[in-house]
Amino acid sequence: MTRIDDTFARLQASDKKAFVSYIMAGDPDYDTSLAVMRGLPAAGVDIIELGVPFTDPMADGATIQLAGQRALDGGMTLEKTLQMARDFRTGDTTTPIVLMGYYNPIYSRGVDAFLVAAKDAGIDGLIVVDLPPEEDEELCIPAQAAGLNFIRLATPTTDDKRLPKVLTNTSGFVYYVSITGITGAAAAQATDVAPEVARIKAATDIPVIVGFGITTPEAAENIAGVADGCVVGSAIVAQIADGKPVEDVLAFVKTLSDGAHRA
């Protein structure tokens, strides 16, 4: 049982939906992003997705691309991202952390060395968007052997033929991408999401969390209401990009988590 598994068990026992928030490590700088991260649990965040900045983030829209560029310009690296997790863990040993990013920095570090470092830093799960199920031997299976959840994305184009392959070796939760395209590109609609979530849940017992296109407390409530929870990323990152003080960013996050938890 990972912290992710424990969190979903606790939420389900309380008949609550999960609220997951994404931030980019090192955006706009190390200290500010760490301060935001440390405040997320008190703002109602159940699981933290921590973005690893990368030079070619093909799944991300402009908001998160720019966040990654700001982080890279400030000297952020994979190792510093892991250090950020270690720093967070000095004050919080229970909130799950999921690293979200791309395979190149992990490959460059070396899979075995990365997994040891990630586990030591208190990472609970990985989302690596450019490694399909056909490449499970590369990272997914070694990660799970090391005690890390490997979280897979399903999308509106994941048909019934492809879905079993996507679900194979997936653990922690399934991340359903509510729209086709990149992050921050359109608004998620519960009426479109509900039948897709039901289709996935018919094929797996793993929780299904919905992300992309959720920007308001109302949207968080509506989407969480048809799934096991929701993820918000771009809307939070945009607050940071606007230079909002940490306390204002966290107050905004609280409105979103309150919406998801009302579902």
The catalytic residues are 49, 60
Q: Distance between CA atoms of 200 and 239, rounded to whole angstroms?
A: 32
86 contact partners, CB below 8 Å, separation of at least 6? 120, 121, 122
β-partners of residue 20 are 47, 231
Residues counted in the chain? 263
The answer to whether 104 and 10 have CB atoms below 8 angstroms apart is no
Report which of 171, 158, 149, 168 is spatially closest to residue 197, judged by C-alpha positions. 158
Torsion angle in degrees (nearest 10) through CA of 9, 121, 30, 212:
-40
CA angle 45, 25, 60 (to 5 degrees): 90
**51 beta partners:** 24, 100
Give the C-alpha separation, 78 to 102, whole Å.
11
Report how far residue 5's alpha carbon sits from residue 106's, in angstroms, rounded to the nearest whole number. 24
